[in-house]
Structure 1
Amino acid sequence: MSQWTTNDIPDLRGKVALVTGGNSGLGKETVQALAARGAHVILAARNPERGEKAREEVLQSVPDASIKFMQLDLASQAAIREFAASFLETHQRLDLLFNNAGVMAIPRHETKDGFEMQFGTNHLGHFALTGLLLPLLLATPKSRVVTTSSMARAMGRVNLDDLQSQKGYTRWSAYGQSKRANLLFAFELQRRLAATSTETISVAAHPGYAHTNLQSTSATLSNSNLELWFYEKFGAFVGQPAAMGALPQLYAGLSSDIHGGELVGPGGFSSMRGHPRVETKAQREYDRPTAERLWDASIELTGVDYAQLQQNQPSSI
């Protein structure tokens, strides 16, 4: 496992994968790796021009790739519902859902539904998308949901009394909250899936310190030249390319050693770089009472109730 690479990805012909944020960074690397092994990949992104450009670039590297672009704005619950309805109408299976897209440490903005942008996009957007696609996931044998968290989860806590950071906002604590929410969601979803007879599993992953456009975008939008300098100098020393940063989520989605409820990250220095490994202590971060309250709050905020999953679970859950 310590040296797992894309060369270890099995033949994926006949499989269908959906990657959010597939137009750049970790998402684009994930799309390319899946397509190279024969999967039919849906590259989901908010910007059509960037999405189509990314699709064309992957096709240049993998000429026979089966890739479809679909527009998805995770900052709009209406857009998510529209996307899910279209996806369910046009696809008969979904083997792999990579909840990869995200925004990082930006000045306070709100989604179209009035949610704080980072929490609304990174967590609520993927919570709604997963729930709306759940019937197809449950109907697909051995399907997996991989949700991308971050090392930044350590600097955030889920403030159930102020999920939208209305009482006070700092961009890094809000980002940390969203990434901790991603982890709690992945673990709580696995707990609920495990209580049913389904073969679908939920796994979390994080890229360590991977060079993507998130860092420069965060610094630029926040007018922080110091942060930009820090990313350029520090990142070059301890970070790793996006292709390496994508390996943990690919491993989480494709390795036969994954059974559900794991967190996969880089196995090198301080989990910031290296080949993927399961972080065995990650389950200590699973706070079930908080995860359950977050789950209930997410249902209330999005209107997506995971009814099909709940119907198959004992009332004691």
Structure 2
Amino acid sequence: CFRSFYAKQWSSDIRLDGKTAIVTGANSGIGKATAKDLAMRGAHVVLACRDMEKAEKAVADIMREVESASVVAMKLDLADTKSICEFAENIYNTEQSLHFLINNAGVAICPYQTTADGFEMQFGVNYLGHFLLTYLLLDLLKYSAPSRVINLGSIAHLIGKINFEDVNSEKRYHATRAYAQSKLANTLFTRELARRVEDFGITAYAVDPGKVSTEIIRHLRRSLQLFLRTFAFVMKTPAEGSYTTLFCAVTPDLESGGYYRDCAPATCSRAASDDRTACKLWALSCQLLGICWD
């Protein structure tokens, strides 16, 4: 099997009965595979998705494939801070605990667009939306501790740079650089978050899922999409792409704030390890979102 050669296999029999998880972007790809695995372990899983029709189909698929699965779909549009606030309110109204917040959703290499609040789409969805979501759900994470926050990164962060002078790419836009910036931001966010919440029993992890065949390639040029689909056998399946996320969710005694790839600690870029940049990005994020997160 080619996939077994290129993707490290992983398994764990750890149960999560009585635990609650939120997975953003869980209607397809890595997110759906993650939600299904968590449900198989006995967790109650909230699929937080923009497209509710696809989300309800994902719920039906998981319930059909996993006996006694406890999964629900809730509307969450990470490109709209109003939707993020409404989602958080719904969570507080319906869920009594939150043990795993898996910030999985993302967009990649898309044409220049802005969110409902004027942020560049990749920076806004991949990073700022999840930053705000985590902030809003922090009290429930504290109440449910020990709890974990897992942020999806990418190897693309290696070429990333936080352009503090033009973070929303208003002066100049390059789709790949904007994507790399958003993934670097997620890794820096994880590092700073871990430092700030360690006294509350919350841990945080940045995850690189690897090269995975998912719908996220939809914004690439057709010729490149065709190439990737032709050679999909050398890429991970969504289930294989979920392994490191699940590893960080269930493995005890992992280093909080760390960067993980192929179910093991990995080396991130020098830029992603810069505490001063992480602190500066945190302050800018609070300013952009109009929140105070000490």
Could you state the TM-score of these two structures normalised by the residue count of structure 1? 0.87
Q: 1:17 and 1:259 mapped to 2: Cα distance?
A: 20
Identity %: 40
For 2:14, the equivalent position in structure 1 comes to 10
For 1:213, the equivalent position in structure 2 comes to 215
Match of 1:89 among 75, 78, 93: 93
Q: 2:140 and 2:54 mapped to 1: Cα distance?
A: 27
Q: 2:255 and 2:179 mapped to 1: Cα distance?
A: 28
For structure 1, the 5+ residue unaligned runs are 267-275, 311-317
Secondary structure at 1:282 match in 2: coil
Q: 1:203 and 1:98 mapped to 2: Cα distance?
A: 10
Secondary structure at 2:201 match in 1: coil
Q: 2:120 and 2:265 mapped to 1: Cα distance?
A: 31
For 1:181, the equivalent position in structure 2 comes to 185
Match of 1:263 among 259, 263, 268: 259
Q: Report the number of matched residues.
A: 287
Match of 1:20 among 18, 24, 47: 24
For 1:305, the equivalent position in structure 2 comes to 292
Q: 1:95 and 1:123 mapped to 2: Cα distance?
A: 21
**Deviations 1:21-60, CA, capped at 9 Å, x for gaps:** 0101000000000000100000110011000000001111
Comparing 122-131 and 228-237, the one that deviates more:
228-237
Superposition deviation, residue 63 in structure 1: 2.8
Secondary structure at 2:287 match in 1: helix
1:123 and 2:138 correspond: no
Give the letter for the 2:147 counterpart: S
**Deviations 1:246-286, CA, capped at 9 Å, x for gaps:** 001111111114131111112xxxxxxxxx2111x337431
Comparing 28-37 and 135-144, the one that deviates more:
135-144
Superposition deviation, residue 4 in structure 1: 6.1
For 2:246, the equivalent position in structure 1 comes to 250
**Deviations 1:51-90, CA, capped at 9 Å, x for gaps:** 0000001111103100011010000001101110111122
Aligned-CA RMSD value: 1.5
Comparing 172-181 and 283-292, the one that deviates more:
283-292
Superposition deviation, residue 235 in structure 1: 3.8
**1:94-243 correspondence to structure 2 within 5 Å:** 94-194=98-198, 197-215=199-217, 217-219=218-220, 224-237=221-234, 239-243=235-239
For structure 2, the 5+ residue unaligned runs are 1-6
Secondary structure at 2:137 match in 1: helix
